[in-house]
Structure formats: C-alpha cells, structure tokens
C-alpha cells in the first residue's frame, strides 16, 4: 500500500496532473468569462480571485514540509517547487490586475500608492520578497548557493505569507473571518516549524582534538 | 444643471424577470385567485401589489436632476450589493434577501417634530408624485454605478412632520431582525444600521426618499421597501430598509462611524481630494468599465450641494 503510494508520488504523470490542477483556477476564470459570468465587477473578481489563490498556494507550499514528516511521505518534496512557483504565478497575475485596470500603468501614481497605503505596501513587499525565491528555484541555484544558504534565503516565504495575510486583513472593511482563517493556518504551519526546531536535539559542540 | 435629455426606453437595459421563489408562488397564488374571479379577495389576502418587490410603479415625473450618463443594468445593480445584514460578499444579498418580509412595513417619523406619524408603504407611495431620478452612486470602496431610482425628495415627508426649532439633524434606522438576517452576526458592524444627515442636507431637494428603481419597487437586496439615496455622499450613507426617521438636536451616530471613526466620517461627502486612510478616493471604477475614471467633487453634484459646506474644512469634516 505504502509502496504503491510512493510509486504514485514518484510518477511523472502525477506531476503533470498536479501541474494542470494548479492551473485549473485560471481555467475556471476563463470558463466564467466565456459564460460572461465574472460578476458586475470583473476586474475586482479577478483581482480577489488571484489574490486568494496566491495566499492558498503559499500555504500549500508551506504545508509540504509538515506533511512530509507527519505522513511520513518524504517524496512530497517533489511538488514543493511547483507549488511555490504557482504562488509566484498567481501573485504576478494579481499584481497585473493592479498595474493595468487599477493604475493604467501609471508608475508614478502606483509608487505613491505603494508608499502611502500600508495594505498595498505590505502586499508589494510580499511580492518583492518572492522574486529571489522564484529566480533561485532551480537545481543550479541550489548548487551555486549551497544547501544551507539556499534554505536560509527561502525562509523568506514565511515573511511573504505573513505579508499576504496582513495585506488581506488590512484590506477588508469589517468582516475579518477569512483573513483570520488564513492567518490561523499560517500560524499553525509556522508553529510546527518552531516546535520542531526547539525540540530538535542540537549536536553537541565538539572541539577538534589537537593533532 | 444637466437636463433629462435623449434617454429612451431602449436605453434602459431590459431586465430579466426578477422574482424569487416566494414571489413566484405568490404570483401563482394571485393568478389562481383571478381565475376564480376572486380578485377582491386576493387583494385582501395579499397586500397591495404596489409594495411588493418588483411591482410596477406609476412614475409621473422625470426629474431635472437626472444624469444622461449610461445607466448600469438592472442585473448589475441587483447582484452587486453591500447590504451586510444579508452577508458581506457582494453576491450575498441577491442570494439571501429573497425571503425578507417587507409586508407590512411601517416607517415612523418622530422626535423633534410637531406632527409625528407612522406611515404604511401605501401611505408613503401616495405622499407625492413619484419621480424617476437617474443618479450617480459612488461607493466608499471605489466603485460607482448609475441607477434610475424612483421616489421623491425627503423634504416632502419632513415638511409634513413639521420639525421643531430644536431639530438640527435627522437620524435614520434600518430594520433589523436576526431571525430574518442570520448572516448579519458575522458582518462585524453594529446593527441595526444607523445613519444621519444634517437637517439642511436632509432638506436638499437631491436627497431622495427612494421606493423603487428601473420602473419598479425596490428589490429586497437594494433596500426594500424604502431607502435613502444621497447621491453626493458615499453609498453607505444611503441607508436601506428604513423603519425610523427621527429628528434630533445633536449629531446622530452612524454605523460605520461607530465601527471606524477615523475612516468613515459623519459627512462622508464624495471627495477626490480626501482619501480614505487605506485607499485613494481620487478615482473610481464605474461598473462595466475596465479602467478607473476620475472621481468628481461631491460626485458631480457641486452645483446643488457645495453651498451646504461653505466655510467648512472638508478634510477635517470628512
């Protein structure tokens, strides 16, 4: 049973299916657009939709490590990069809905907005921090940076996810249930890491013996 | 002032029949009654059709206050609503307000008035000739619509009540019933919804006591059966489903002002130069348009209302 599960996780096809699954929200938007069913405010709909999916993919990416340990499925690591890159993909679309229909590529106005509005500032910061992670997501970059340094850099995703939750929380008018829900999931995922790092027995400091 | 110009029937987007199940059943009931020739009975059994959501209204006056801008569709205006009593998503009210009972309905006009009164919807519909007013409507969130509202100036009903010398403000209150509005609890705002105007704002002819739109009585999700429309202020000032209009001495409290006083002031006039603390108010998205357009001072109603605020610091009195 476990072997067949492993086989499934290691299959090329699983990755392809997952890729298409990650892309399906885009398909959903096109399908609704085709039905002219993007609500009375299509721009806002797409903006919120891509924002939601950015946050979801960030949380999915962050849940892979705990799931590997808790379910004893180390092979799940195969999908982490894809999930992280999809978070980046959706945040790019999300940003585009802001740059184009909202700001009409008026970069001066946009800069004013980013610097003046905390919820946009924090959202933009989350996006900026994700860029180096997307760029260094390849095997080559892991090698060049070295595992330790690469891992340290990629801990920036914690900050991005936090930015995403705060961005959402600061945006809503009075009904904070959804941003709090995402925040609670993020808190669990981060607490898991904290507890692991506290409970993990540290290797004793060894002094190299004189030669 | 803009004049009511070249609008024809064709400009009004044909609206898909908008009936919820209840009303369909009720309509079927009415039809059945007609078949047995008991029209009179049906009128007694069911309240006059004139107050049911979706009933045709007899509009006799086209208002000079109307804009000639392209109107939004009935579909948009009934499926993109902020009515937190029925949920906080824009699509919630159209899904959840269908069963809202608006019959019978009473509006109480009280407080600092010589002639307090309780009006039924039938009374309200007969107090003055119904006017169609095509207004721009700008939400504090940064979107706007153009809607052919139906009603008459609030001053009509205020004058009947005869405000006393002491009356300086008007306080409004919405209907609230947890049983009928189970989603309201999650909205985060204090209900029943309250709003207020200064008396001179309330008496301004633009201030509309609204009973319908698109030629018909108000759909539930748009604030049935009677609401305010104050076109130069952000949409949340235009309180829905009113049960109380009270003339008062001091500035009344208002729901969003209680929730976040630094974000939603008592005046809340549309003003492109005074931003919401969290977002710019310089531009807005007219529903149906891709790019944003510039927001106009007082939502384009400066000619009618700017004089109400002469000498006032609108940055302070946001």
CA distance B36 to B257: 54
CB burial class (10 A; 0-12, 13-18, 19+) of residue B31? exposed
CA distance A11 to A21: 16
* Residue of A37, A39, A40, A178 to mutate for B, most B C-beta atoms under 10 A: A40
> B131: which strand partners?
B61, B151
pLDDT value for B238: 98
The alpha carbon of residue A114 is apart from the nearest alpha carbon of chain B, in Å, by 10
* B171-228 pLDDT, tens digit each: 999 999 999 999 999 999 999 999 999 999 999 999 999 999 999 999 999 999 999 9
Q: What angle do CA A97, A103, A106 make, to 5 degrees?
A: 130
Q: Report if residue A123 sits inside a domain.
A: yes
Q: What is the SS3 assignment for A173?
A: coil
The alpha carbon of residue A90 is apart from the nearest alpha carbon of chain B, in Å, by 20
Q: What is the ipTM of this complex?
A: 0.87
Asked if residue B131 lies in contact with residue B62, where contact means CB atoms within 8 angstroms, the answer is: yes
pLDDT band at A203 (very low <50, low <70, confident <90, very high): low
CA distance B119 to B157: 10
CB-based contact A171 B278, cutoff 8 Å: yes
Backbone angles phi, psi at A109, to 5 degrees: -65, -40
pLDDT value for B45: 43
CA distance B25 to B56: 18
- The pTM assigned to this predicted structure is 0.85
Superfamily, domain B9-18+54-309:
Oxidoreductase, molybdopterin-binding domain (3.90.420.10)
Q: Report if residue A96 sits inside a domain.
A: yes
- Compute CA A209 distance to the chain's CA centroid, rounded to the nearest angstrom: 46
pLDDT band at A81 (very low <50, low <70, confident <90, very high): very high
CB-based contact B285 A40, cutoff 8 Å: no
Q: Report if residue A55 sits inside a domain.
A: yes
> B174: which strand partners?
B242
CA distance A135 to A118: 26
CA distance B100 to B243: 14
Which residue range is the domain that position A123 belongs to?
2-192
A to B CB pairs, distance under 8 Å: 56
* B101-119 pLDDT, tens digit each: 999 999 999 999 999 999 9
Question: Which tokens belong to A191?
Answer: 């607490």
Residue closest to B307 by CA, chosen among B158, B228, B168, B206: B206
* B75-103 pLDDT, tens digit each: 999 999 999 999 999 999 999 999 999 99
Among the partner residues A41, A102, A170, nearest to B80 by beta-carbon distance: A41
CA distance B270 to B140: 8
Please provide the average confidence, as pLDDT, over all residues in chain A: 94
Domain spans in chain B, listed from the N-terminal domain onward: 9-18+54-309
Mean pLDDT of A168-197: 96
Q: How many domains does chain A have?
A: 1
* B46-80 pLDDT, tens digit each: 444 334 667 899 999 999 999 999 999 999 999 99
Q: What is the SS3 assignment for B128?
A: coil
* Residue of B261, B292, B295 to mutate for A, most A C-beta atoms under 10 A: B292
B160: pLDDT strictly greater than 70: yes
> B153: which strand partners?
B208
* B243-291 pLDDT, tens digit each: 999 999 999 999 999 999 999 999 999 999 999 999 999 999 999 999 9
Q: Report if residue A203 sits inside a domain.
A: no
What does R_g of chain A's alpha carbons equal in angstroms? Answer: 20
């Amino acid at each position: 049973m476990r072997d067949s599960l492993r086989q499934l996780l290691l299959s090329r096809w699983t990755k392809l299916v997952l890729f298409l699954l990650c892309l399906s929200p885009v398909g959903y938007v096109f399908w609704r657009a085709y039905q002219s069913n993007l609500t009375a405010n299509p721009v806002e709909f797409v903006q919120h939709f891509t924002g939601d999916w950015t946050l979801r993919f960030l949380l999915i990416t962050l849940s892979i490590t705990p799931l590997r340990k808790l379910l004893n499925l180390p092979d799940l690591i195969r999908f982490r990069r894809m999930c992280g890159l999809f978070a980046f993909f959706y945040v790019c679309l999300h940003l585009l809905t802001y740059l184009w229909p909202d700001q009409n590529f008026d970069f001066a106005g946009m800069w004013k907005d980013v610097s003046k509005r905390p919820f946009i500032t924090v959202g933009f910061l989350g996006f900026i921090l994700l860029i180096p992670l997307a760029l260094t997501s390849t095997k080559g970059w892991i090698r060049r940076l070295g595992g330790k340094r690469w891992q340290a850099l990629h801990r920036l995703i914690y900050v991005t996810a936090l930015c995403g939750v705060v961005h959402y929380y600061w945006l809503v008018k009075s009904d904070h249930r959804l941003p709090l829900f995402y925040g609670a999931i993020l808190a669990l995922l981060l607490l898991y890491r904290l507890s692991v790092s506290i409970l993990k027995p540290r290797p004793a400091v060894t002094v190299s013996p004189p030669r | 002032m803009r004049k009511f110009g070249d609008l024809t029937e064709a400009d009004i987007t044909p609206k898909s029949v908008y009936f919820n199940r209840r009303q369909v059943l009720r309509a079927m009931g009415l039809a059945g009654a007609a078949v047995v020739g008991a029209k009179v009975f049906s009128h007694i059994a069911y309240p006059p059709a004139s107050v049911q959501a979706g009933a045709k209204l007899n509009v006799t006056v086209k208002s000079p206050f109307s804009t000639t801008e392209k109107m939004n569709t009935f579909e948009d205006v009934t499926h993109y609503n902020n009515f937190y009593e029925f949920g906080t998503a824009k699509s919630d009210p159209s899904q959840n307000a269908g069963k809202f009972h608006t019959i019978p309905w009473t509006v109480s006009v009280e407080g600092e008035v010589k002639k307090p009164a309780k009006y039924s919807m039938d009374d309200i519909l007969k107090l003055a000739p119904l006017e169609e007013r095509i207004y721009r409507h700008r939400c504090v969130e940064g979107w706007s619509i153009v809607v052919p509202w139906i009603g008459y100036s609030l001053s009509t009903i205020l004058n009947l009540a005869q405000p006393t010398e002491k009356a300086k403000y008007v306080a409004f209150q919405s209907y609230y019933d947890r049983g009928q509005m189970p989603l309201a609890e999650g909205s985060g705002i204090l209900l029943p919804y309250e709003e207020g105007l200064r008396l001179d704002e309330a008496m301004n002819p633009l201030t509309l006591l609204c009973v319908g739109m698109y030629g018909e009585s108000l759909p539930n999700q748009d604030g049935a059966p009677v609401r305010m429309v104050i076109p130069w202020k952000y949409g949340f000032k235009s309180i829905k489903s009113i049960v109380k209009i009270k003339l008062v001495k001091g500035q009344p409290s208002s729901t969003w002002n209680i929730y976040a006083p630094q974000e939603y002031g008592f005046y809340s006039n549309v003003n492109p130069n005074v931003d919401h603390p969290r977002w710019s108010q310089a531009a807005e998205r007219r529903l149906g348009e891709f790019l944003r357009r510039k927001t106009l001072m007082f939502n384009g109603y400066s000619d009618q209302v700017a004089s109400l605020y002469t000498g006032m610091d609108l940055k302070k009195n946001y």
